[in-house]
């Protein structure tokens, strides 16, 4: 049975940790983000967190039901950072484009954490706030609820899928990542026209594009499709 999580107000330490900090959910999450960057998902353990925080590892379970609960909190922190400073302007397409790029950027700032959390549904306050914001933009723009939910689904899953894909590349050892990036020039650009005419014809363009994220292009295609649908709804039958 999972341990009961004690409310924040009742579990705050009265004494600082060995590092001089007062333990809190936010401090634990920020420390977990740092440890993920240094050690990857396999290196995030209660013992290592306790050492990093200067606290007994068992203390963490006063704040989180388990390590998976902490993982969800890390995911919520990442998506919450995307919303921090974002405001809707009334231009639904621009609002969603800015938010999508912010989500992608927030996850890529912490690739190890992104690879671990992008596929999770946290149900936490930060995630719910982003979902509410996206649905508000779409419904205010005039999309019927069925379409608003369908577009929201595509928007958020596309954002997180590209975040996970691009983060996985960034999380590779540098030698492996650089070898992947060189492949477009070392292999693809040398394929002969006689056997691979289409790759040969576009080799320069492929080399210029393929080491950059396709997310902005995919996001624009999604929003273009949504805009065309909204225009059809506004037109007389």
Domain ranges of the chain: 8-65, 89-234
Supply angle C-alpha 59, 63, 69, rounded to 5.
Answer: 115
d(CA 155, CA 167): 18
Q: What pLDDT was estimated at residue 20?
A: 57
Fold type of domain 8-65: Arc Repressor Mutant, subunit A (1.10.10)
Q: What pLDDT was estimated at residue 237?
A: 58
Q: Which residues of the chain have pLDDT under 70?
A: 1-21, 237
Give the DSSP letter string of 139-191: HHHT--HHHHHHHHHHHHHHHHHHHHHHHHHHTS-HHHHHHHHHHHHHTGGGS
Whether 89-234 and 8-65 are alike in CATH topology: the answer is: no
Taking only Cα atoms into account, the Rg of the chain, rounded to an integer number of angstroms, comes to 22
Q: What pLDDT was estimated at residue 2?
A: 44
Q: What pLDDT was estimated at residue 101?
A: 98
Q: What pLDDT was estimated at residue 6?
A: 47
Q: What pLDDT was estimated at residue 41?
A: 83
User: Which residues, including other chains, have CB under 8 Å from residue 113's CB and lie 6 or more apart?
Assistant: 32, 33, 36, 37, 74, 75, 78, 107
Q: Using the 8-state DSSP alphabet, how is residue 14 labeled?
A: S
User: Which residues, including other chains, have CB under 8 Å from residue 10's CB and lie 6 or more apart?
Assistant: none
Q: What pLDDT was estimated at residue 22?
A: 81
Contact 49, 35 (CB under 8 A): yes
**3-state SS assignment for residue 45:** coil
Q: What pLDDT was estimated at residue 211?
A: 95
For 208, the token pair is 């210029």
CA atoms within 13 A on the CB side of 193: 2
Contact 60, 45 (CB under 8 A): no
Chain segment 108-143, per-residue pLDDT in tens: 999 999 999 999 999 999 999 999 999 999 999 999
Superfamily covering domain 89-234: Tetracycline Repressor, domain 2 (1.10.357.10)
Contact 114, 108 (CB under 8 A): yes
């Amino acid at each position: 049975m999972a341990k009961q999580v004690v409310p924040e107000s009742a579990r705050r330490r009265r004494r600082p940790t060995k590092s001089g900090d007062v333990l809190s959910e936010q401090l634990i999450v920020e420390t977990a983000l740092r440890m993920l960057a240094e050690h990857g998902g396999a290196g995030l353990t209660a013992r290592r967190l306790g050492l990093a925080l200067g606290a007994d590892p068992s203390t963490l379970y006063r704040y989180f039901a388990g390590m998976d609960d902490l993982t969800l909190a890390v995911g919520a922190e990442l998506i919450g950072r995307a919303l921090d400073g974002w405001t809707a302007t009334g231009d639904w397409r621009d609002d969603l484009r800015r938010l999508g790029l912010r989500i992608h950027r927030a996850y890529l700032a912490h690739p190890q954490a992104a690879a671990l959390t992008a596929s999770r549904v946290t149900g936490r306050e930060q995630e719910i706030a982003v979902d509410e914001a996206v649905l508000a933009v779409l419904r205010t723009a005039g999309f019927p609820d069925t379409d608003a939910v369908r577009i929201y689904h595509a928007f958020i899953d596309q954002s997180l899928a590209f975040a996970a894909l691009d983060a996985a590349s960034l999380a590779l050892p540098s030698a492996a990542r650089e070898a992947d990036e060189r492949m477009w020039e070392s292999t693809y650009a040398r394929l002969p026209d006689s056997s691979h005419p289409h790759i040969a014809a576009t080799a320069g363009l492929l080399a210029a594009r393929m080491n950059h994220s396709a997310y902005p292009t995919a996001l624009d295609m999604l929003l273009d499709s949504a805009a065309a649908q909204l225009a059809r709804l506004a037109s007389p039958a």
